[in-house]
Amino acid sequence: MNPCIRLFSKITRLTPEAIEALTKVGYEKYSVKKGAPLIRVHQGCQELFFIEEGLVKLRFFKDDKEFIMRFFKEGEAVTDLASFYGNTSDKYEIIALATTKAFAIPLQALEQLCTQHPSINTAYRKFMLMANLNMIQRISEMLEQDASIRYKNFSQQNAELLQRINLGDVASYLGITQVSLSRIRAK
């Protein structure tokens, strides 16, 4: 099944007409190898990527230090929201952590479908709301929790991801060094 339809169907009930319309949209298919970018820094992004297979990270650099905002796996969707809505190149990039296959739908096509199909509009609106709530939660945990609590919560909520993500990326996600992560894990 189309990963866009699969994801949106989890969010809300799509009408048969909406499913048919989503099936007919001209998706671009991407296949990227581990370590390769799905989007690069300053490239700009006007597409929403639906991960069919694989794993990616959304990251940026500040003073040569990597900061990982989030990981996205099969069944999830990712984009550079600032670029997606601001129509500007941004500082974020999306990098494959494993060979990744994704479908992408252009923002313009998605907006057109939203005007034609209320169920797609509802799914997209709820998806964007969830994305914003996830980012608020992410910011809150970075500001309010110490690293050991962040690691505990991450490992409980993402146990299957820990098997697929290297410790350097986990440390970067938590905002700590690998040495600090090793100390936390040893406790």
Q: What is the DSSP string of 78-135?
A: E--HHHHHH-S--S-EEEESS-EEEEEEEHHHHHHHHHH-HHHHHHHHHHHHHHHHHH
Per-residue pLDDT of 107-148, as tens digits, reads: 889 999 999 999 999 999 999 999 999 999 999 999 999 999
- Supply the pLDDT for residue 88: 66
Average pLDDT, the chain: 91
For residues 97 and 18, membership in a common domain is answered with yes
For residues 182 and 95, membership in a common domain is answered with no
- Supply the pLDDT for residue 90: 72
Residue 164 is given by DSSP the state T
Give the confidence band of 79 by pLDDT, cuts at 50, 70, 90.
confident
For residues 81 and 166, membership in a common domain is answered with no
This prediction's pTM: 0.90
Residue type, 30: Y
pLDDT at 4 over 70: yes
Strand-by-strand arrangement of the 93-96 sheet: 37-39, 93-96, 55-62, 65-73
For residues 109 and 183, membership in a common domain is answered with no
CATH code: domain of residue 64: 2.60.120.10
Number of domains in the chain: 2
d(CA 96, CA 112): 29
Per the listing, tokens 């929201």 go with: 81
Domain extent for 181: 145-187
